[in-house]
Amino acid sequence: MALSSWRRRRRTPPLPPATSSSSSPRGAAPPAPTSAATSPSPSPSSTPSTPSSTPPRNVLAFWLLGLANNSPYTIALAAANELAAGAVGSIFFTAVFPALLLKLTTPFWFPRVHVNARAAAAALMALTAFPLLAAATKGIKEGGGEGSRGGGGGGAAAASATSSRSVLASIALLSFQGGLGEASALAAAGSYPHPRVVLGAWSSGTGAAGPVGFSFLMLFHVFAKLSLRATMLLALFWPALWLVAHFVILRPPPPRGPDSEEEAAAAAAAAEGEGAVLGAGGGAIELSPLSASSRPLSAAAASASAAAKKEALDPEEATGLLTPRAAEAGEDDEERGEARAKKGEQGAAAAAAAAAAPALPSSSSVLPSPSSSSASPLWAATSLPKGFLATSAHVASLWPFAVPLFLVYFAGEGGQENRPLSPFFSSPPPSERKKERKKERKKEKTQLFFGWKKI
């Protein structure tokens, strides 16, 4: 395959694909951590010594988190398509936009809310949504079923309207849950020492969620012929699994400080040497693709902690890279005022360049940067942005990652979540359809017999 030629030469893949032949995700996920010892992106100082490789239980936990996060959404959407047959457009909107809006807000409150609280909140949403959906199922079944079929008096129509409203509400809740769960789990993955391993496990779990969610419905709703209501209640299994994966299986990441002590020292030395070489212009966010992306994480983390030791950097100064206004926005922050006063106000760009330089000890040595503006991007900062504008500026600076991801779906029929299930479940299962046809034929016969209907 052509993809294999994309392998980056600089790094050895942590695991040869040959071992990946086992297609079972549970079997596939655990092998990753064994190779994790070699995977921590090789640093130029070549100290992959961190003994703390990712434990298998964390890999399993992230795989289960991915599965448990996306399955509810898949299941509920299929169910909703069966229930509120007429309202595809509104279902689409309620399925997509709550998650989108919630994810937009995450940079502003995630640092202040503990990951456990976020995980619990996501589970709570799913735990609320499924009973709601089950209740709505009942309402719709009583209301003459599938309002699109046109039957039913006023009362029945009203009942089905309220229940289709609660179908939409539960879909919105599950969309919130999926968005919150995804953002939260991705953020959590970032706090583990080998994020590529746990992120791989997470995304594998989310990839499995489509087929697994489908199988779930197949198994209980079609084969076991459970009602949709019972199936929705059974789907409470997924938030339960999410809670178990997060609170029981997953172990918190090791504390950040001590594990990279030597590297920090080494990087600090490197930073001392190169700290004098400052980037010229502060205006450019974009770095040459080699520098930041190929920069090994361990060295980067080390340099981060080294910089933290050296009385850290002001967030305001880092944001000065993007807009002076952003820097101003952060200035009402009093805590770091002294440090800034020490350095003096020399214009945002210059300060930002000075601040950013020690954060990138290796980038200037690894590659002779082609452009004169070797300023680091905002996401290479070593402090959290403060204030609305600074945070927004940081988020905007992530566009080299966000835009390709944004565009990558657009031939793929939408997300993996909402498409494939619908053709199987939007129409009633064959047995029900047969029954309905029989009923209709009977009705027609009686109508003919009594002469109600003229042909």
Q: Is 188 left (phi over 0), alpha (psi -120 to 50) or beta?
A: alpha
Q: Pick out residues in 202-241 that bind another protein (CB under 8 A).
A: 203-204, 206-208, 210-211
Q: How far apart are CA 169 and CA 128, in angstroms?
A: 10
Nearer to another protein by Cβ, of 258 and 289: the residue is: 289
Among 407, 430, 451, 454, binds another protein (CB under 8 A): 407
Nearer to another protein by Cβ, of 74 and 166: the residue is: 74
> Helix 88-109 vs helix 388-397: angle between axes, to the nearest 10 degrees?
110
Q: Where are the alpha helices (DSSP H) in 283-385?
A: 289-293, 297-309, 315-319, 324-329, 337-343, 348-356, 363-366
Which of these ranges, 44-52, 86-94, 125-133, 272-280, lies near another protein under the rule CB under 8 A?
86-94
Backbone angles phi, psi at 197, to 5 degrees: -70, -50
Q: Is 299 helix (H, G, I), strand (E, B) or coil?
A: helix
119 is an interface residue for another protein by CB under 8 A = no
Which residues make Cβ contacts (< 8 Å) with residue 266, sequence separation at least 6? Answer: 45, 47, 302
Tell me the number of residues near another protein by CB under 8 A: 110
Which of these ranges, 122-130, 326-334, 341-349, 381-389, lies near another protein under the rule CB under 8 A?
381-389
Which of these ranges, 129-137, 153-161, 319-327, 402-410, lies near another protein under the rule CB under 8 A?
402-410
Q: How far is the CB of 129 from another protein (least distance, A)?
A: 18
Look at residues 195, 220, 233 and name the one whose alpha carbon lies nearest to residue 59.
195
Which residues make Cβ contacts (< 8 Å) with residue 164, sequence separation at least 6? Answer: 83, 84, 87, 136, 140, 147
250 is an interface residue for another protein by CB under 8 A = no
Q: How far is the CB of 325 from another protein (least distance, A)?
A: 20
29 secondary structure, DSSP code: T
Q: Pick out residues in 425-444 that bind another protein (CB under 8 A).
A: 426-427
Among 76, 87, 127, 134, binds another protein (CB under 8 A): 87
Among 54, 69, 81, 319, binds another protein (CB under 8 A): 81
Which of these ranges, 270-278, 364-372, 388-396, 447-455, lies near another protein under the rule CB under 8 A?
388-396
Which of these ranges, 131-139, 198-206, 222-230, 328-336, lies near another protein under the rule CB under 8 A?
198-206
- 8 Å CB contact between 191 and 297: no
